Amino acid sequence: MSEKQKFQAIKGTRDLLPPETALWNHVEHTAHAVFSTFGFGEIRLPIFEPTELFARAVGGETDIVSKEMYSFPDPFDLGELYARFRSLESISPGAGHFASIAGLSPDNQMISLRPEATASVCRAYIQHGMHSLPQPVKLYYTGPMFRRERPQKGRYRQFYQIGAEVLGGTDAPAIDAEVIEMVMTFFARLGLAGVKLDINSIGCRECRPEYVKLLKAELSKPEIKEKLGADSQRRIETNPLRVLDSKLESEQPIIEKLPRIAEHLCAACAAHYASVKHNLVLRNVAYHENWRLVRGLDYYMRTTFEITAPGLGSQNAVCGGGRYDGLIEILGGLPTKGIGFAIGEDRLILSLQEAGKAPAPRRLDVYVAWMGEKAYDTAVRAARALRGAGFAVELPATAQKFGKALGHADKLGARYALILGEDEVASGQWTLKTLSDGSQSKFTEPELLAHLKL
RNA sequence: GUGGGCGUAGCUCAGCUGGUAGAGCGCCGGUCUGUGGCACCGGAUGUCGCGGGUUCAAUCCCCGUCGCCCACCCCA
């Protein structure tokens, strides 16, 4: 970086600028509108939580927790000692590092920027005794998540998710189907084209371990294992289900012949899955069964789903979700049913943009072209009145040549220029020019407001 | 963590086998202190990402480094 441009956004973070932000707002407003019609209320959550919360929910040995979270000792809890070392940093480089080491003592809490929000929602459900509300509790959220990994298309270190969770009450398949219906409705409302819904059931605590054991045994057979790539060979031990996810062309024929979980579900899970599908048909939701769709984390069970959209590159999932009936209990709550999803907002926006869904251009109604210091007071008054009536108004801060002013109005895309010079101030007859055709006419202030409101 | 591609003006890019930089767009100003879009004229911003090497001479070749992008890994 040159001396001139010293600072830039940290790797994997980015600025969202107008007019693109208009599209973000549109997406979020649409989410609010659609989710409300399904009876969901918004929850706003902290963006940092105790590291332990994520370690428990997501799993301490996962890459997410062990490598990809932004974690640090809470400077507040570290108190005087930490603060003192930090303050020494400028005169004694390394002091801060020492403080960090000191901060790892059991007395001090580690905190993390949230890598996802499901754990926080569950924590809030427990903390606020939501089990005593009418069940189930239906919540949605939007906001930034943080994950320390190599950025690529549609993947950032600070990324945004729109998610929803249904907690408590029944695990009836109707709920799974309705949650999926809600996402699909949301995407349809946005005009997102080419979406594909994949669903699967990954069984429960009873039947999944049996299947995993079977799968692992199969994968471990020498004649199969030797045909797999290094990554998949490693997964046989670490997470055999993920072998099914492999994108390697050479592995596809092998994977096709592996045992499928749908054929090894217990009776209860099989019935649940069948009913989810039936309920999707009832709701007119088109789905593809994808027996290879798995979730990486242990707490997921039964229904899993994923929605892909075009234009996203390698990371083409725009929404992922599933049932996690055990999670609240893991976090110290009562046994509680749960299902939810998270939408990758960055990817959703990207897909909308690729499809040419341009953001609504900034609307500017009136450019106040005032001339001469004598007209300034009137210009301010006009701008206040117009804005008060809800119009978007640009009031130049400094005097400029008249031709310049109109040129500026044109570049800003204003619909009208309100021309205020000595004549107008003297007569009280303001000149309104329509930029598109160049026509203009005179109005008093009240007439002008009435005219523009038409 | 691994691999590949790319770094030249605010943006998109050109720059031949090495001779210390250009275009378009945009921005600002002028022609034009009461009439915009058009046209014409002018202007500014670059240590050609940074450091080193080879060379009489490096934007160009070599090495390193940083940054960005894409993919792998992983995936909430």
pLDDT at A1: 39
What confidence tens digit (pLDDT) does each residue in A237-281 have? 888 888 998 888 888 888 888 999 999 999 999 999 999 999 999
Q: How far is the CA of A5 from the C1' of B49 (A)?
A: 11
pLDDT at A102 over 60: no
A145: pLDDT strictly greater than 50: yes
Q: How far is the CA of A8 from the C1' of B17 (A)?
A: 38
Identify the band that residue A345 occupies on the pLDDT scale cut at 50, 70 and 90: very high
**CA end-to-end span of chain A, whole Å?**
53
Beta strand A366-370 with A393-394 is: parallel
Nucleotides of B under 7 A from a protein CB: 1-3, 26-30, 32-37, 46-47, 49-50, 66-76
A423 Cβ contacts chain B strand, under 7 Å: yes
Q: Work out the mean pLDDT of chain A and round it to a whole number.
A: 89
Residue A104, pLDDT above cutoff 60: no
A119 CA: nearest nucleotide by C1': B76
- What is the phi/psi pair of residue A111, to 5°? -120, 155
- Contact between A381 and A389 under an 8 Å Cβ cutoff? The reply is no
Euclidean distance between CA atoms A362 and A17, whole angstroms: 12
Least confident of A59-68, A97-106, A384-393, A407-416: A97-106
Residue A43 confidence (pLDDT) above 50: yes
The pLDDT value given to residue A269: 96
Q: How far is CA A185 from CA A94, A181, A192, A220, in A?
A: 54, 6, 10, 43
A431 touches strand B (CB under 7 A): yes
pLDDT for the residue numbered A3: 45
ipTM above 0.95, yes or no: no
Question: Residue A228: which pLDDT band, with cuts at 50, 70 and 90?
Answer: confident
Q: Quick: pLDDT tens for A164-192.
A: 999 999 999 999 999 999 999 999 999 99
- Residue A126 scores a pLDDT above 80: yes
pLDDT band at residue A72, thresholds of 50, 70 and 90? confident
pLDDT of residue A89: 64
- Average pLDDT value for residue range A13-22: 89
Instruction: Give dist(CA A115, CA A49) in Å, integer.
Output: 10
Give the span between the Cα atoms of A134 and A169, in whole angstroms. Answer: 8
Contact predicate A178/A38, CB 8 Å: yes
pLDDT of the residue at A2: 43
Across A230-234, A240-244, A253-257, A337-341, the highest mean pLDDT is recorded for A337-341
The pLDDT, as a whole number, for residue A230 is 84
pLDDT, tens digit (0-9, with 9 covering 90-100), for A369-386: 999 888 999 999 999 999
The answer to whether A212 CB sits below 7 Å from nucleic acid chain B is no
Which domains does chain A carry?
20-70+113-207+265-354 (3.30.930.10), 75-108 (no CATH), 366-452 (3.40.50.800)
Mean pLDDT over residues A136-142, rounded?
A: 97
